Amino acid sequence: MTQKINQLWNAIEKAGSMNAYIDSQLREHGFLVKRRDTDNMSKRELDRYKKELKAEAAEKRRLKKVAWQAYKANHIVHLGDGVYWNDHDNFDRWDLNNAEERAAENELPTLDKPQQLAQALGITIPQLRWLAFHRDAATELHYRRFTIPKKDGSDRAIWAPKTLLKRAQYWINDNITRQLVVHGAAHGFIAGRSILSNAEVHTNAKIVLKMDLKNFFPTITLKRVKGLFRKAGYREQIATLLALLVTEAPREVVEDQNKTYFVSMGPRCLPQGAPTSPMITNALCLKLDRRLTGLAEKFGWRYTRYADDLTFSLPDGKDKEPNLGKLMHVIKQIVKDEGFIIHPEKTRITRKGGRQKVTGLVVNGKETPRVPQKTKRELRAAIHNLKNGKPLREGETLAHLEGLAAFICMTEPALGHKMLAQLKDITNAL
């Protein structure tokens, strides 16, 4: 079926247009009726003439239908509520003048047409349209929703892409987003960097200042993501499709007349749960990281970012302590300029005399960042209880304990591996 449709579209392209193809088919198969004056026709001639016109009209409708099917199989046509699309646009005034050169500099795959993107993703044009299509009230989504508890006890909604979309997003991640420039201050979701590399920057600090970006992923909307892909070197059509493939609107589930609707509650943004979201945030925060790094250096501080966590530290030994209020004011202004908001309830300042933690690791002194003693004590106690046949505490699982042991492995490999081995022995004995 697909081969026949493609052959049909090739024939339409060869004819020059759908109308030209339809006219040629009508003529070739004897359906095209020469128009004549009916004033002097006999009743029999008029009836025959009308039948011929009717047959021509019926065949023309049939040809239009199959031609339109062939067109839709090879063109995006429409992408849903509020999304601009034009199949014939090959240049837009917001595109970079040297877009192809920029894409080549970033070592991005050549994607000039939707057909090339579909082929790269291993899907058809109709499938690409289906994955990218936006509806304000959808009856089906390409994501599964579940929640995980936050530290404050509330639930965090996670939107995990289903198989076909997830495969497309992994391709985008591997071939496009990983190629984009990321600042050295970013440590999250980057090969060779981690919570440990993030924390190592801030050891032996006189003061540690931690600030969080509020509603980080929801703040990064379709418009901003599309702009990122354009800046990377893709033109209007490809940038639009890529942005739609990696964003989704925040939604509420509504039941109406025994039917479930997923109703859009705001603009499309990066979903928490999509594999593409972390790397896109890193690329979009390039200017933010540059400005905050420059500010930190000006004040004699150090700066890193792990996802939405911003960390500043003043190295120990500085004689004069800067004006913290002024520093925080400028940080907030830069963050606002770059389209983000500082979470007012998550700013923390810790001094040398107290316990200083960065991305979960203690950074006091000149030692390597380490897991808090409390965490290690709790894990030792849990392992001891399991060995003696006692149950785990409420909310604890073996998987959680193994995660803590792996966490310890990062900074204390010998201890961490020992605990992992003990947990493995316990699991095998169950």
Contact 296/303 with Cβ under 8 angstroms?
A: yes
The H or E element that residue 206 is part of is strand 205-212
What confidence tens digit (pLDDT) does each residue in 139-154 have? 999 999 888 877 666 7
On the question of pLDDT at 274 being above 90, the answer is yes
Apex 57 CA angle, 53 and 63, nearest 5: 140
Mean pLDDT score, 371-392: 91
Q: How many CB atoms lie within 10 A of CB 199?
A: 26
> In this structure, what are the phi and psi dihedrals at residue 8, rounded to the nearest 5 degrees?
-65, -45
User: What whole-number percentage of the chain has pLDDT above 90?
Assistant: 80
Pairing outcome for strands 155-161 and 309-315: unpaired
Q: Where are the alpha helices (DSSP H) in 366-429?
A: 373-387, 398-411, 413-429
Position 319 scores a pLDDT of 63
Q: What angle do CA 179, 369, 372 make, to 5 degrees?
A: 120
Task: For each of the domains in the chain, give its residue range(s) and CATH number, in order of start.
Answer: 1-74 (no CATH), 98-176+221-269 (no CATH), 184-217+284-367 (3.30.70), 373-429 (no CATH)
pLDDT at 1 over 70: no
Cα angle 14, 238, 291 (rounded to 5 degrees) comes to 160
Q: Return the closest-CA partner of residue 299 out of 330, 261, 345.
A: 330
Contact present, 224 and 92 (Cβ < 8 Å): no
Check whether 399 has a pLDDT greater than 80: yes
* 427/327: higher pLDDT: 327
Q: In this model, does residue 180 exceed pLDDT 70?
A: yes
Q: Which pTM was predicted? A: 0.89
HSE-up of 72 (CA within 13 Å, CB side)?
A: 12
Per-residue pLDDT tens for 17-69?
A: 999 999 999 999 999 999 999 998 999 999 999 999 999 999 999 999 999 99
